[in-house]
Structure 1
């Protein structure tokens, strides 16, 4: 073991058991990046989200990820752009307050690597999405709490989502291109099983 930030001990291998981990939004990020028509790229993040990560050290193909994002928490660095992205032509955040991704199957690709196949639901439309995942190790806090790090990447094509494509914005009102790279940087804490005594 080696010492990590904040007094945590870094453990290089997968957790030894099967467990569910709750995403800690304080140490996690959900971001996106798209090629821009007016600059090099357009970047942003969602500031409010929650979710779970399930890991099985013996059967990594059982890995599952579920992430639930608050649509109105989008942050592009501009209040005007944020409001525009929350409006009807794009996310329609008032009518569809939650963006969700949940995986249904996983494929082990090698040491600490996997490919998650699942569904992404945005603005009332649900489509298949593949996320390439990488396990980044686990750590133990001084209190003995186990924390894991997991990164997932995917690319969404706006042109394949009628609900996210607008002929008005294609004329130049908005600068985001077709391909949108999604990045899930997850730090999750092991869920303690609840014991019930009759």
Structure 2
């Protein structure tokens, strides 16, 4: 693991073709369902003092992919994300200490604080002379906090979809000139 001190100051953009915004939920309380959002854009401004850096990321909710067309259609419906009325999810940072990134996550016009545990994977030049940086991050949220409350009781006890959702990020940034 590289030191975050090696991350050059400046403006970076999220590289969507090398970034995954994913989530994990329990299904039937016995297995996990994973999904991701393919359409993500954002800007990271790295300050000389890393703690003054900022993050602003927007995800298009209609780009959800769980490898099941029926489930994706349900997630896009008013039961869950209601993409017709709330097409985006947005995260805007409020603080960063080099290991924890805190900020405001907005889903369906509800904004709540979230803290991600962050791992910096380093900086590298690609073969075309671009400077790239990599990060991984995780946070756990309760979907009900954002009004995502649809569920169904299951015969053996429990519910169809867990309230606890893990957000898993694998992010590559591109340094702007």
Task: Say yes or no: TM over 0.5.
Answer: yes
Unaligned runs of 5+ in 2: none
Tell me whether 1:59 sits opposite 2:41 in the alignment. no
For residues 128 and 155 of structure 1, the distance between their equivalents in structure 2, rounded to whole angstroms, comes to: 11
Unaligned runs of 5+ in 1: 1-11, 109-113, 193-198
TM-score by length of 2: 0.88
Q: Superposition pairs for residues 1-198 of structure 1, below 5 Å?
A: 12-13=2-3, 14-15=5-6, 17-37=8-28, 39-56=30-47, 58-108=48-98, 114-161=99-146, 163-166=147-150, 169-172=151-154, 175-192=160-177
Corresponding pairs, count:
172
Deviation at residue 47 of structure 1 after TM alignment: 1.0
TM-score by length of 1: 0.79
Deviation at residue 65 of structure 1 after TM alignment: 2.1
Do the aligned residues in 2 keep the contact of 1:23 with 1:188 (CA within 8 Å)? Answer: yes
Larger-Rg structure:
1
For residues 124 and 55 of structure 2, the distance between their equivalents in structure 1, rounded to whole angstroms, comes to: 19
Deviation at residue 60 of structure 1 after TM alignment: 2.2
Residues 123 and 21 of structure 1: CA distance in aligned 2, closer, same or farther (over 3 Å): same
